[in-house]
Amino acid sequence: MTRSDELPLYPHRHLLGIRGLSPHDIEDLLDRADAAVAISRQAEKKSAILRGRTQINLFFEASTRTQSSFELAGKRLGADVMNMSVASSSVKKGETLIDTAMTLNAMRPDILIIRHQSAGAAALLAQKVGCSVVNAGDGAHEHPTQALLDALTIRRAKGHIGGLVVAICGDILHSRVARSNILLLNALGARVRVVAPSTLLPSGIADMSVEVCRTMQEGLKDADVVMMLRLQRERMTGSFVSSVREYFHYYGLDAAKLAHAKPDALVMHPGPMNRGVEIASEIADGPQSVIQEQVEMGVAVRMAVMQALMDPRRNTGAAQ
């Protein structure tokens, strides 16, 4: 991995969202992540960059892939990683988020990874603890490491992000992934389109620097990247869309719809996928799919973020 003193000092104490990052900050994190990919591809995957540091994963929402990605990232950097399983913790006994955080803070971790069902939870935590906080998803607000790993995947495949046409399709309304991606892709100069039934678009979406498209044909036309979003099961039957059948007919990604995009367009999905709902299996497993690469880039991006936050040139000691 690149020696950290060769890279610019990352100017933030936390990573709470893409909002607040400059294009330069983002490129810097992507550069660091590029270097981290190499570590994961070696037989010897462990480095000592974060040796002696303590990382706590505090996941209030069940998550297999994001939590294991953060855990692996920490371990590959040599940190001691602890997973707080909220299901069996005192949160179930009525302890508030802040009290849980203060308790963990007293154990002097260096970095706290939080996922929570409420927007703003990571920011609230960051105000109360003495260590660095990484937002691993807060309600429908932001999921910055997902946007970074998506950007890394695109940049490695296409060489650049500026000027690309990226179509984000599906449940934009409830998606933190969409919000973080819209911010990041705009910051790096991509043209962002969103495609969704109007019931799944947030109010004021047209003012978020995106082009709103009603049909997949329109949204995918000459697109360089097609990002599909997961549709939660409870939203499939009547409350936001009428049925899985109708949703797949109009918004599910199949070969016919993908044909409107550029022939070398990338197909992405943050996972976990609903095959046959938002994406057809032949596309998910097809040659244009980079869904597996996204998972690999996820570990690299999280290594990069933690390395940047724990830069030894800054006095990032444990909680005071």
Partner 1 sequence: MSVTVFENAHIVDPSRGLDAVGSLIVEGRKIVASGADARNQGAPEGATRIDCKGKVLIPGLVDSRVFIGEPGAEHRETIASASEAAAAGGVTSIVMMPDTDPVIDDVALVEFVLRTARDTAKVNVFPAAAITKGFRGQELTEFGLLQEAGAVALTEGRHTISNAQVMRRALTYARDFGATIAHETKDADLGASGVMNEGLFASRLGLSGIPREAEAIPLARDLMLARLTGGSYHAAKISNGLSADAIARAKNEGVKATAGISINNLSLNENDIGEYRTFFRLDPPLRSEEDRLAMVEALRNGTIDVIVSSHDPQDVDTKRLPFADAAAGAIGLETMLAVALRLHHSGEVPLLRIVEALSTAPARLFGLPGGTLKPGAAADFALVDLDEPWIVREAEIRSRSKNTCFEDARLQGKVLQCWVAGRKVFGN
Residue 159 found at the interface with partner 1 (CB under 8 A): no
Which sign does the torsion angle of CA 101, 104, 110, 113 carry?
negative
Residues ≥6 apart with Cβ < 8 Å to 291: 267, 268, 269, 271, 273, 284
* Minimum gap (Å) between residue 83 Cβ and partner 1: 21
CB of 37 to partner 1, least distance (A): 30
Touching partner 1, residues 14-43 (CB under 8 A): 19
What are the φ and ψ backbone dihedral angles of 82, each rounded to 5 degrees? -125, 130
- Out of 72, 82, 91, 98, the only residue in the binding site for partner 1 (CB under 8 A) is 98
Residue 46 annotated as lining a ligand binding site = no
53 labeled binding residue: no
**Contact between 16 and 123 (Cβ < 8 Å):** yes
Q: Determine the Cα–Cα distance for residues 255 and 245; give it in Å rounded to an integer.
A: 17
Determine if 202 is a binding residue for partner 1 (CB under 8 A): yes
Handedness of CA 40, 46, 47, 48 (dihedral sign): positive
Binding segment toward partner 1, per CB under 8 A, in 29-37, 74-82, 111-119, 250-258: 111-119
Stretch that binds partner 1, among 36-44, 139-147, 222-230, 301-309 (CB under 8 A): 139-147
Exactly one of 203, 239, 315, 320 binds partner 1 (CB under 8 A); that residue is 203
Written as six digits, the tokens of 77 are 């950097």
Residues in contact with partner 1 by the rule CB under 8 A = 19, 96-98, 116, 118-121, 123-124, 138-142, 176, 179, 202-205, 207-208
